[in-house]
Chain A
Amino acid sequence: DAGITQSPRHKVTETGTPVTLRCHQTENHRYMYWYRQDPGHGLRLIHYSYGVKDTDKGEVSDGYSVSRSKTEDFLLTLESATSSQTSVYFCAIGRRDRGQETQYFGPGTRLLVL
């Protein structure tokens, strides 16, 4: 257990509304990630962070923004939600285990955009 929580766990929203998902970690890890998981596509990286206020884009960043004002929190915002953003969103932290980089995932947020 890497001490990762995500909130909310489930959300239903309407097209065009803003949505913010929160990821919280308790172990002070530098790297944090946001992924989305869709059938047939697997896990796709949206954005990641390598420190407070340091973020970068991933493979599918269009329509998403992130912020990290504290080490423990990484926020994902959908500025104007679209139906194509209906997905399961996972947060992950990067951790070095015995010299190897690994990632540990949170429980996920299921988002439905109507």
Chain B
Amino acid sequence: QKEVEQDPGPLSVPEGAIVSLNCTYSNSAFQYFMWYRQYSRKGPELLMYTYSSGNKEDGRFTAQVDKSSKYISLFIRDSQPSDSATYLCAMSGNTGNQFYFGTGTSLTVIP
């Protein structure tokens, strides 16, 4: 079983839609949770990070962590064509030095 599972998609939505991206994990020691955005032929770009459980909002983006269910989500409101990218979840434990990544979900926002 992989440490982190992420549905690869692809996901295609109309402009303005709310997008929900999700990851599940198996290691209860994970404390730090991150979302990266990766445009085609570019390096991953850190989008948001959260510690432990709860919600964090940044503009149109909201990250949620549910440690009891070992489930994290990224919501994108009022999605834009510029949001078209692959989104990677990542997490790490107490040491924080080794990160575990999902395989990424490909998102296309159609104008």
Contacts and interface: CB of A to CB of B under 8 A. Distances in A.
B44 A43 contact: yes
Nearest to B102: A42
Size range of the chain A interface in the assembly: 20 to 34
B32 A48 contact: no
B103 A42 contact: yes
Interface stretch (A12-20, A68-76, A79-87, A100-108): A100-108
Q: Is the interface of A mostly helix, strand, loop or mixed?
A: strand
Contact of A48 (B34, B46, B97): B97
Given A31-B97, A40-B103, A100-B51, A90 B44 contact: yes
A113 interface: no
B88 interface: yes
B49 A50 contact: no
Interface in B71-111: 88, 90, 92, 96-99, 101-104
Contacts of A45: 98-99
Interface of A: 31, 33, 40-43, 45, 48, 50, 58, 90, 94, 97, 99-108
15 contacts: A42-B102, A45-B99, A48-B97, A50-B97, A90-B43, A90-B44, A94-B96, A100-B32, A100-B50, A100-B96, A102-B34, A103-B90, A103-B99, A106-B43, A108-B41
